[in-house]
Amino acid sequence: MPSGASQTLMTIIRRKQLCCYVKQQFLLYTTKYGNAATLDSRQRLLKLATDVEHARAHKLVLSEVAKIMITEHNDDNPSEKSPTTTNLSPLPHKKLVLLFVLFGAVVSNLSSEWDKFKRDYKKQYASVAEENERRQIFIENINRMRFYQEAHPYATFTMAMNHLTDRRIEELVSGSKFHLDARPVLLKTSIEVKNLPESLDWRTKGVITPVIEEGPIGVILGPLVATELVESLHAIHTNNLTEGSIPRVYDCCLVAPDPFECMMKLGGICRKIDYPKILDKCEPNACKPFTTFDEIKRLIEKDENKMLTWIQESTLWVVMNGFGKGFGDYKEGIYDEPTCPQTDGNHAMQVVGYGIEGGKPYWLCKNSWGDNWGEKGYIRMVRGKNMCGIANGVVQVAYKKTNSATRLFVIYPTFLICVLVMMISRIFAVYC
């Protein structure tokens, strides 16, 4: 049975409305360790203390525990009561010292992690106020990660500190929804899911450009992922991977209802080296497009089996909800978080493959938060559950299927001219 101290502590914690995790960990302290403050229990208590979600709540609980210890001591030793002072016997005094040493160790530990974070990622801030704000966000994110992993020991993915740990998820994921043209496109395919390969990774084909970091609040996310799809389509059909100009698509298509329709009207995408910087105004003739596409396929049904058939031909654009627990702190594994909303898509990614690990199917997605995030910039999302709404807004760019004669006239005009020249030359050779 819990002691009177632990029961009183629970009442105080409820009154203060602290997080349930704080209640759990300090109840464990009062019921399990009691008065036995051995070296082993101190080490275990330190681990528990570092898992508390907020340092402020932690400090408050320590303060209340101290009050309880003093009260209990006075109740047990009435002769030592004093209206102005309270004398502590050796044991409660040791417990108090232990608690405040633990609190100091937690603060020191987080400070060390903060210093290491700044060194590792070469962080610099414009002012002391900004650094203090970023430090507080960092502490909250670290404690939230620890709390989640403690509460979900069997999760199929892990989280870890990265270069974005001093940012709130709202700074990385736009609160705005992506609205693309929802006109259905009929797709006839002879490919059956049962005949598809067990896995596919377009990266191994050399048709995926390097991961980049988009910047704050997804301001270039739509143009970025749309450009990536066209880059990959071009590389798949030509064996030539060329980085496209994201700034050009940003300048001309940022406010367009559909970036893909806008890109088609622009005649395709230019090379990155020909249009390297954002001009903040649309200059469509500032460069010459090196590739384009003539079909936009949109998956209206939330059908991940159809996604499997589509990705056999080229990569996919997907829009999902980026506010899922642990998404911003993802390190590795297969992201499977049942509470992630399947609505309000606000974050776009390029799907570059799929596979199965440990019997769990997944999508391989290229994110835009740099290669320090996730699995070198990628995340594996569980497949078959419409995780975070990944199947809600699928888009693919393609070339229209034409017959061989049409391709000669439309796609290969240079080849046609050469054939005509050769024929004319033969005619002249015969009659001259």
Distances in whole angstroms, Cα of residue 428 to Cα of each of 369, 421, 422, 431: 62, 11, 10, 5
The three-point CA angle 148-149-155 to 5° equals: 105
- The domain made up of 172-398 has a fold known as Cathepsin B; Chain A (3.90.70)
Cα gap 135→30, rounded to integer Å: 31
- Beta-carbon contacts of 393 under 8 Å, excluding residues fewer than 6 positions away, are 178, 180, 298, 317, 318, 319, 345
First to last CA, the chain: 114
Q: Which tokens is 266 given?
A: 């622009």
pLDDT < 70: residue spans in the chain: 1-109, 174-194, 215-219, 401-421, 425-432
pLDDT in tens, 226-256: 999 999 999 999 999 999 999 999 999 988 8
Nearest to 379 by CA among 351, 342, 347: 351
Report the interhelical angle of 20-28 vs 39-50 (nearest 10°): 180
Identify the residue whose tokens are 């705005």.
176
Total residues found in the chain within this entry: 432
The pLDDT assigned to 36 comes to 44
Task: Give exposure, 139-149, as e/b (b: 16+ Cβ within 10 Å).
Answer: bebbbbbbbbb
Domain ranges of the chain: 4-151, 172-398, 404-432
Which helix (H) or strand (E) segment holds residue 319: the answer is: strand 316-320
Q: Model pTM greater than 0.75?
A: no
Residue 197: how many other CB atoms lie within 10 Å: 9
- Beta-carbon contacts of 284 under 8 Å, excluding residues fewer than 6 positions away, are 252, 266, 267
pLDDT in tens, 347-381: 999 999 999 999 999 999 999 999 999 999 999 99
The pLDDT assigned to 14 comes to 45
